[in-house]
């Protein structure tokens, strides 16, 4: 651990975002961090939780990278962690721009991000590697729905963040409706087998870098109760069972879960990760089945840090100083989450510098 303060830039720090999770994690680290925050909106809560903060253009703006580099020069940034999907992609794609200036990028390379961000391609890729995955079909027309075999099924965009625009379909007409809905609004839909046993859903965090030179893993059994942790709860009309789609806000139980963690490492190795990987999965009998692979830090990042497994800190110190943790001890037990409120005056909001 360095005795000197590390200056890190965290982007996309709006309320409830991955960026805000990263802010919390760096704030909890034993290593001292000077945290600079950035967001495209002056109303983003994370901007008001750091002393130095900036309003940036959208990640899709042609001058986004130029403005980000300007912040890096002003603040002498040593590491950058992106807190939104679009920024992760842009920064990773242009990582050499930052690395040439001595700034480490805390993400996977762009090829891993593109592979995992395509929900159809990643399931097909893992299946070909011998990993059991839910049956997943790319929707082109009504006849594709018959290929899934049985209902219920999940309809979701081929590309997209979190659990937005994810639906449960109980018959062919449901599936056609939701697929057509996603097509209508520009999303390429996929049809995926619904995994039962929502009481056995896990989120796994894996840091896997440089062909396994750095490997850490942590698993949490998710507590899918209440509005925060669930995106949708539907009563199955045929079984009276509650079918659940989880949200991006995780709470639950931390234990060793060695088999689950080893499964997560197997996936990270299979895809050739070089950074953080987050895996959503459910236990089906003796098998663990993944249904979502995210090539980034997780909405569970701060919660993991609370129990002693601080992934952004670990990866940052590895990339900057080649530090590898010898052993990570976590606290075992439950972590629950809630909403909190913060008042910010209009004058304070208007004073945030726009870069």
> Are residue 14 and residue 74 in the same domain, yes or no?
yes
For the segment 46-51, the average pLDDT, to the nearest whole number, is: 92
Q: Is 142 within the bounds of a domain?
A: yes
Quote the tokens at residue 247.
């949200």
pLDDT recorded at residue 1? 73
pLDDT recorded at residue 231? 63
> Are residue 287 and residue 207 in the same domain, yes or no?
yes
For CA atoms 219, 222, 227, 231, the dihedral sign is: positive
What is the tally of structural domains in the chain? 3
pLDDT recorded at residue 230? 57
262-275: per-residue pLDDT in tens? Answer: 999 999 999 999 99
Q: What is the pTM of this model?
A: 0.92
Q: Is 230 within the bounds of a domain?
A: yes
> Are residue 180 and residue 212 in the same domain, yes or no?
no
For the segment 201-223, the average pLDDT, to the nearest whole number, is: 96
> Are residue 253 and residue 268 in the same domain, yes or no?
yes
Classify residue 354 by its DSSP letter. B
Question: Residue 176 belongs to what domain range?
Answer: 135-193
Using 50, 70 and 90 to split pLDDT, how confident is the model at 93? very high
> Are residue 205 and residue 184 in the same domain, yes or no?
no
Q: Is 236 within the bounds of a domain?
A: yes
pLDDT recorded at residue 339? 76
Q: How far is CA 310 from CA 54, 177, 225, 347, in A?
A: 25, 42, 25, 35
Least confident range of 44-53, 160-169, 325-334: 160-169
Instruction: List, in order, residues 6 or more apart from 300 with CB less than 8 Å away.
Output: 21, 203, 205, 220, 250, 278
* CATH number of the structural domain spanning residue 63: 3.40.50.20
Burial of 34 (0-12, 13-18, 19+ CB in 10 A): middle
- Of the chain, the percentage scoring pLDDT greater than 90 comes to 75
Q: Is 212 left (phi over 0), alpha (psi -120 to 50) or beta?
A: left
Q: Is the pLDDT of residue 248 over 80?
A: no
Angle at 222 between CA 239 and CA 232, to 5 degrees: 50
pLDDT recorded at residue 162? 61
> Are residue 253 and residue 163 in the same domain, yes or no?
no
Tell me which residue of 83, 95, 85 sits closest to 60, measured CA to CA.
85
> Are residue 203 and residue 268 in the same domain, yes or no?
yes
Tell me which residue of 83, 71, 81, 77 sits closest to 102, measured CA to CA.
77
Q: Is 33 within the bounds of a domain?
A: yes
pLDDT recorded at residue 161? 65
pLDDT recorded at residue 246? 65
Burial letters 312-340, b for 16+ CB under 10 A, else e: bbbbbbbbbeebeeeeeebeeeebebeee
Contact yes or no for 232/244 (Cβ under 8 A): yes
Mean pLDDT of the chain: 92
Q: Is 327 within the bounds of a domain?
A: no
Selected residue with higher pLDDT from 338 and 194? 194
Least confident range of 236-240, 291-295, 319-323: 236-240
Q: Is 121 within the bounds of a domain?
A: no
Quote the tokens at residue 58.
């959208």
> Are residue 177 and residue 202 in the same domain, yes or no?
no
Q: How far is CA 265 from CA 215, 219, 309, 318, in A?
A: 8, 11, 16, 18
> Are residue 158 and residue 243 in the same domain, yes or no?
no
116-153: per-residue pLDDT in tens? Answer: 999 999 999 999 999 999 999 999 988 888 888 889 99
For the segment 141-170, the average pLDDT, to the nearest whole number, is: 87
* CATH number of the structural domain spanning residue 246: 3.30.470.20
Burial of 100 (0-12, 13-18, 19+ CB in 10 A): exposed
For CA atoms 90, 65, 186, 182, the dihedral sign is: positive
Q: Is 310 within the bounds of a domain?
A: no
Q: Is the pLDDT of residue 295 over 90?
A: yes
pLDDT recorded at residue 298? 93
* CATH number of the structural domain spanning residue 139: 3.30.1490.20
Q: Where are the alpha helices (DSSP H) in the chain?
A: 18-28, 64-75, 85-93, 95-99, 110-117, 119-128, 172-184, 226-229, 258-271, 301-306, 311-321, 346-350
Q: What is the 3-state secondary structure (H, E, C) of 230-249?
A: EEEEEECCCCCCEEEEECCC
pLDDT recorded at residue 319? 97
Q: Is the pLDDT of residue 226 over 70?
A: no
For the segment 13-42, the average pLDDT, to the nearest whole number, is: 94
């Amino acid at each position: 651990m360095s005795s000197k303060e590390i200056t890190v830039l965290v982007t996309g720090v709006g309320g409830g975002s991955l960026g805000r999770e990263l802010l919390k994690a760096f704030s909890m680290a034993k290593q001292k961090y000077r945290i600079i925050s950035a967001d495209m909106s002056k109303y983003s809560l994370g901007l008001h939780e750091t002393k130095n903060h900036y309003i940036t253009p959208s990640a899709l703006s042609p001058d986004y990278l130029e403005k980000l580099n300007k912040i890096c020069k002003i603040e002498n940034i040593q590491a950058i962690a992106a807190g939104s999907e679009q920024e992760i992609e842009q920064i990773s794609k242009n990582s050499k721009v930052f690395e040439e200036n001595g700034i480490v990028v805390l993400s996977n390379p762009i090829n891993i991000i593109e592979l995992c961000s395509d929900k159809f391609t990643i399931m097909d890729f893992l299946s070909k590697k011998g990993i059991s995955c839910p049956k997943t079909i790319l929707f082109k027309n009504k006849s594709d729905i018959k290929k899934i075999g049985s209902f219920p099924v999940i309809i979701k965009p081929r590309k997209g963040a979190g659990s937005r625009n994810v639906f449960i379909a109980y018959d062919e007409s449901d599936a056609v409706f939701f697929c057509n809905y996603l097509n209508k609004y520009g999303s390429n839909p996929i049809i995926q087998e619904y995994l039962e046993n929502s009481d056995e859903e896990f989120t796994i965090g894996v840091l896997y870098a440089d062909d396994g030179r750095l490997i850490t893993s942590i698993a949490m059994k998710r507590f899918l109760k209440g509005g925060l942790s669930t995106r949708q709860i539907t009563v199955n009309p045929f079984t009276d069972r509650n079918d659940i789609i989880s949200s991006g806000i995780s709470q639950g139980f931390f234990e060793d879960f060695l088999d689950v963690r080893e499964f997560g490492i197997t996936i990270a190795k299979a895809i050739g990760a070089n950074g953080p990987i987050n895996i959503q999965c459910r236990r089906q009998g003796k098998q663990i089945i993944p249904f979502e692979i995210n090539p980034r830090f997780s909405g569970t990042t701060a919660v993991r840090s609370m129990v002693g497994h601080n992934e952004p800190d670990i990866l940052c110190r590895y990339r900057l100083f080649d530090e590898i943790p010898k052993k990570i001890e976590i606290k075992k037990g439950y972590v629950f989450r809630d909403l909190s409120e913060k008042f910010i005056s209009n004058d304070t909001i208007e004073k945030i510098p726009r870069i």
